[in-house]
Amino acid sequence: MKKLLLITAVITIGITGFLSGCISEGTGTLILQITDAPGDLNITEALVTISQISVHYAGINDTNTTGEWINIANETQTFDLIALQDVTDFLGEANLSAGWYTQIRLNVDQALVTVDGVQYDMEIPSKTIKLIKPWMLENNETLILTLDFDVQKSVHKTGNDKYIFKPTIKIIQG
């Protein structure tokens, strides 16, 4: 049985600019989802606390390395990636400029894992998860990006009942 957590963020996008011809003014919708597949460890709970979600705006082409960061959500939310199945939760909403977006960042404040009935506070080497995959929204478009979160590959046992949280997430556009 596939365990699944869908976290949906609907972001209203103001579209203006040019890419491969003229893009007329209008709006588009970005939907962010997170999904989790089961694995081999006996993990019964994986609590992840996210305090901020940002996207990187690159401009009208995806080669701009300066761009700007835009905050989508600034409120702390905790999700149990194992226990929640077929559930959606609103993450944030923002009006954004037209053009390419090259990265999504999630700030993770805490990660707890329950293995064989015992809860462990995981070390988080980087408090920021960087998801790098360029994407573009066009006028009147609804774009769904699914953040495929693999809990089993993200939790690493280091010995002496210590765990490290190194998130493994891939972006699926569809």
Three-state DSSP class for residue 40: coil
Question: Which of 96, 77, 84 has its CA nearest to residue 10?
Answer: 96
Is 1's pLDDT higher than 50?
no
Is 3's pLDDT higher than 50?
no
142-149 β-sheet, strand order: 9-18, 22-36, 142-149, 169-173
Q: Average pLDDT, stretch 36-60?
A: 81
Three-state DSSP class for residue 151: helix
Q: Which residues contact 57 (CB under 8 A, 6 or more apart)?
A: 67, 68, 69, 70, 96, 97, 99, 100, 101
Does the predicted model carry a pTM greater than 0.85?
no
**Cα–Cα distance between 11 and 90 in angstroms, integer?**
10
Q: Average pLDDT, stretch 88-116?
A: 82
Q: Average pLDDT, stretch 138-148?
A: 73
**Residue 108 — pLDDT band, cuts 50, 70, 90?**
very high
In tens, the pLDDT along 155-165 reads: 898 888 899 99
Q: Average pLDDT, stretch 20-49?
A: 67
Torsion from C-alpha of 145, 76, 84, 113, nearest 10 degrees:
110
